[in-house]
Amino acid sequence: MFTWNYQYISKARLAATLEQLALEPEKGDVLIRIHTAIHLEDEAVELARFIKSIVPHASIVGTSTSAVINWGKLLLNQCMISVTQMDGGHVQSAIIPTRDPETGLPISVDDVCHTAQCRVLQENAKLILTFLAGTYLDIQRMVDRSNECQPGLQMIGGIVNVSDIGQQKECKAGFVFDENGWTSEGLLMASISGSDVESFCSYATGVQAIGEEFEITDAFGSCILELAGTDAAKEYRTGIGEVLHNRSELAELFPLVYADAPDIPVPIQYVENTSLAELYPMNDPANADMFAKRPDLKPEARKEFITTNHSVTVGRKLRRAFIYDRKIIADNRAMFGHVENFEKAETLFGYSGASRSLIYSNCAKWELSSYENSNMSGCVTDGEIVFAGGRNTLADCAFSVAVIGEKEVTQECNPYAFSKTDSLAVDNKALLSYLMEIEGFVEKNPATVAVGSLRSFVRDCEMKLLYSENDDIPNEAALNMDIKLKGYDRICIINVLDTSSMKIVFDESAIALTQRSFLGRCAEYARRRNYRMYRLEDWQVAIGAPSYTVTLRKMSQDMEHLQRELFASSEGLIAIVPTFCVINGCTVDNLKPAYNSARLTMMNKNIQFYVCDAGSFQADEESIRERYRMINLINYAIANDRIVPYYQGIHDNASGTIHHYESLMRLVDENGTVYTPYRFLEAARSYGLLYDQTSAIMIRKVFERFRNAEGVSVSINLGMRDIKNRETMEYIYDFLASVKHPENFVFEILENEDVDAYEVLESFVDRIHQLGAKISIDDFGSGYSNLQHVIGIHSDYLKIDGSIIRKCCESREAENLISLIMGWKKMGMHKIRIVAEFVENEQIQNMLMRYGIDYSQGYYFSKPTPDIAV
């Protein structure tokens, strides 16, 4: 068997493709499936005829659809043609009418089955493609009958629909066609047979049945009238909540299932303010017939109804159910496993329920993503025939797949998709928020009759949604919900780091044992102290409580206690280091960012226990505003040439004159206000490029001012960022090489924790010295200067930090430091000169003179000013 899927572009290209395929009719039959979302009925037949003219021996099976599946991808508004060449097997197809054109009555199940047996069924049939167009209430019974006649014969297909674009008035429900014509009241069937043919069918729904069973006690056609003696529609509505009025798509999310097939949703439609007479028009003879049999009903009475797409049997039992992401994942995973392991996987047929994308917009795409590289083709239908438990049955909202082949072939499937379920998690959030909405409704309307049952239903749904897969610990969704609804705003996140390295040394069972013990102990502790525990990741849990039941202090104490308990690991377990981060004032939005920031802090400081406030990571409004004000100021200053170098004279204590200046950056705003770096430097640094620009402008201006100066020199402050900036460095080097007195330029650098690359700094210093300029070490004695590095820099000047100078008259220690520095200078190998800053009064200056300080800088001598005589 060989299958080629083709997206229809034009007849010419189709013809060319079919030529290239070089089909071999003598070898085996050819099946051509057409699923179209773009053709009208007659166009479709015309297309079938065209194909037939090229491949005369092919069996053509065509349906309308709303979207096609081609190579495992969902495509809207396309037409897909799939050509299957059998190696020895046979294909037999036919359109079987379901309504007698003369009487207008539905044809009985027996007659339909008989026709199908005669016209389609062959010996050794393995799979029957079955598509129904229009309403045929007995479809379920027909499928059941087939099960009885041909036990084990698999069927795949469904009820065809039509895309919005191609929709026409007379044909709302879709149609089936072949080269002989089309119908919207009939079945299109094709059997695939052959002694070597093997097929396997499976399906995924994601449905979870919940709660007790209800018996159908009254029905009319496809309409369920009574459940356990009460009005079925009302019962159904109260089960979902009043929101159903506005959001009928929720019926898909909370379907009903037959008790004997709890994972197969029964297609349910909820309609309001209508009557049986409207649902089943009397002018249809079949309906008239049904009404005649039920004289007790009031056909004109308007109310709400729930209907399905097949005749409902009184006495069958129903249960409530809902669809949620983890079940979808589990179902798909199971199905994928089967499909992947099927040996003769030459061709994949896939049919997906249209309502799946209604509930979970990402669901259908995600489900298909694991088959993206396989040759899966098919389309979207309005109801699917699935093969479950040895029987075929009619389902809604299912994803059904058939694998068929004659030889052993494997398809390239993609199991990786199962680890990427983020898109489903998004859908899941929507579902949760809906459940929360119901909860809110229940809170507000406690008097509503159904509150009891509704509440328990919602709780059951939440239980499914909110607990981790393999244990009964609530998951992250539960955490978010508790934060939102119950005010759980104190959360401690416990994380075990470095678990990947554990795998290198220990075997899996030891790791699993340790993990179980870790989770168990956390859970036990949380339970004992009335906290709630959530499992976020394999090795990450959260423990939470609302601020109205525990003080932060008590909670921190408890968590510290738990940490000690966990540290005291017992025999046979791997030693783990759980880090604890208690976050106060959490909201759903700020928890993650707060934890990330806290984690960073914890890592930097190497602490394993941390208490913080979620709000504290958010700067307060005033400082945010101030930062933006400063950014605007910097931008303004750059654009309008308002970066102004100020110069502060440095007094030469030997000559008693000022011939050296330190350049200091100032920004001036449009009002003429002058800003010191104290205000804007932080902001400039946080927007690195702004810093680079201002710094470059400053350097250029100072250079220009002093380019030709004789007898005066200037200092320029440089940060580590400047020194690492190639452009700035090139500019400085070029300038120094071109200037007459490079010795007039001194570069002040900070020796502090910012300096992370000494080789860069040292090579800068060497280069500056080669070019004849000077180096000064700024703020010596503040921060954490590394003395060894200070020595290594071979600086020409050393500037003692102002905080020391300021105190030198009051504090003996400060004075001793000055003495020490001067002593060191005397012992020094190379000539270094010492500068003191913040010299504010005569008293200080006298003291500095006593110690022989070379230069003094400060208000006592001169204030920074833009105007100096150079």
DSSP 8-state assignment for residue 489: -
Collapsed DSSP state (helix, strand, coil) of residue 85: strand
Taking the least distance from each CB to other proteins, the nearer of 551 and 865 is: 551
How is 254-281 classified by DSSP, letter by letter?
A: S-EEETTSTTSEEP-EEEEEE-HHHHS-
User: Of 359, 347, 352, 356, whose CA–CA distance to 384 is shortest?
Assistant: 352
Residue 463 neighbours by CB distance under 10 Å: 13
**CB-CB contact of 379 with 67 (8 Å):** yes
User: Which residue matches tokens 């239908």?
Assistant: 381
Q: Side-chain half-sphere of 188: how many Cα atoms within 13 Å?
A: 27
User: Which residue matches tokens 């290198």?
Assistant: 504
**CB-CB contact of 193 with 89 (8 Å):** yes
Taking the least distance from each CB to other proteins, the nearer of 553 and 726 is: 553
Tell me the C-alpha distance between 715 and 774, whole Å: 9
Single-letter code of the amino acid located at 432: L
Taking the least distance from each CB to other proteins, the nearer of 83 and 545 is: 545
Q: Side-chain half-sphere of 170: how many Cα atoms within 13 Å?
A: 7
Q: How far is the CB of 588 from other proteins (least distance, A)?
A: 17
Taking the least distance from each CB to other proteins, the nearer of 472 and 507 is: 472
Residues that bind other proteins (CB under 8 A): 446-447, 451-452, 487, 530, 546-553, 584-585, 613, 677-678, 717, 778-779, 782, 801-803
3 state SS for 409-476:
ECCCCCHHHHHCCHHHHHHHHHHHHHHHHHHHHHHHCCCCCCHHHHHHHHHHHHHHHHECCCCCCEEH
- In this structure, the strands spanning 657-668 and 674-675 are antiparallel
Q: How far is the CB of 802 from other proteins (least distance, A)?
A: 5
Tell me the C-alpha distance between 215 and 227, whole Å: 6
For the CA atoms of 653, 654, 656, 658, the dihedral, rounded to the nearest 10 degrees, stands at -70
Taking the least distance from each CB to other proteins, the nearer of 615 and 792 is: 615
How many Å separate Cα 57 from the centre of its chain? 49
Taking the least distance from each CB to other proteins, the nearer of 50 and 441 is: 441
Q: Which residues pair with 473 in a beta bridge?
A: none
Q: How far is the CB of 678 from other proteins (least distance, A)?
A: 5
How is 638-683 classified by DSSP, letter by letter?
A: HHTT-EEEEEEEEEETTTTEEEEEEEEEEEE-TT--EE-HHHHHHH
Taking the least distance from each CB to other proteins, the nearer of 535 and 799 is: 799
Tokens of 287: 């309906």
**CB-CB contact of 481 with 493 (8 Å):** no
Taking the least distance from each CB to other proteins, the nearer of 803 and 843 is: 803
Q: How far is the CB of 550 from other proteins (least distance, A)?
A: 7
Taking the least distance from each CB to other proteins, the nearer of 150 and 694 is: 694
Residue 390 neighbours by CB distance under 10 Å: 9
Report angle CA 385, 388, 394 to the nearest 5 degrees.
30
Tell me the C-alpha distance between 198 and 32, whole Å: 19
Q: How far is the CB of 555 from other proteins (least distance, A)?
A: 9
Taking the least distance from each CB to other proteins, the nearer of 104 and 487 is: 487
In order of 340, 347, 375, 412, 545, the CA distances from 371 in angstroms are 10, 12, 8, 8, 44
Q: How far is the CB of 807 from other proteins (least distance, A)?
A: 12
H-type alpha helices, 294-379? 325-341, 354-359, 363-369
| Strand ranges inside 585-632, DSSP E | 609-613
Taking the least distance from each CB to other proteins, the nearer of 294 and 529 is: 529
**CB-CB contact of 76 with 163 (8 Å):** yes
Taking the least distance from each CB to other proteins, the nearer of 357 and 717 is: 717
Taking the least distance from each CB to other proteins, the nearer of 549 and 635 is: 549
Q: How far is the CB of 534 from other proteins (least distance, A)?
A: 19
Contacts of 273 (CB under 8 A, 6+ apart): 302, 303, 304
Q: How far is the CB of 448 from other proteins (least distance, A)?
A: 11
Contacts of 379 (CB under 8 A, 6+ apart): 35, 37, 63, 65, 66, 67, 68, 69, 80, 351, 352
Q: How far is the CB of 542 from other proteins (least distance, A)?
A: 19
Taking the least distance from each CB to other proteins, the nearer of 548 and 859 is: 548
Taking the least distance from each CB to other proteins, the nearer of 232 and 777 is: 777
Q: How far is the CB of 838 from other proteins (least distance, A)?
A: 8
Taking the least distance from each CB to other proteins, the nearer of 7 and 782 is: 782
87's enclosing H/E stretch is none
Q: How far is the CB of 594 from other proteins (least distance, A)?
A: 14
Taking the least distance from each CB to other proteins, the nearer of 48 and 836 is: 836
Q: How far is the CB of 766 from other proteins (least distance, A)?
A: 25
Tell me the C-alpha distance between 54 and 48, whole Å: 10
DSSP 8-state assignment for residue 100: -
Taking the least distance from each CB to other proteins, the nearer of 553 and 826 is: 553
How is 243-256 classified by DSSP, letter by letter?
A: GGGT-TTHHHHS-E
Contacts of 577 (CB under 8 A, 6+ apart): 496, 497, 498, 567, 608
Tokens of 277: 């007479």
Q: How far is the CB of 782 from other proteins (least distance, A)?
A: 6
268's enclosing H/E stretch is none
**CB-CB contact of 385 with 309 (8 Å):** no
Q: How far is the CB of 665 from other proteins (least distance, A)?
A: 10
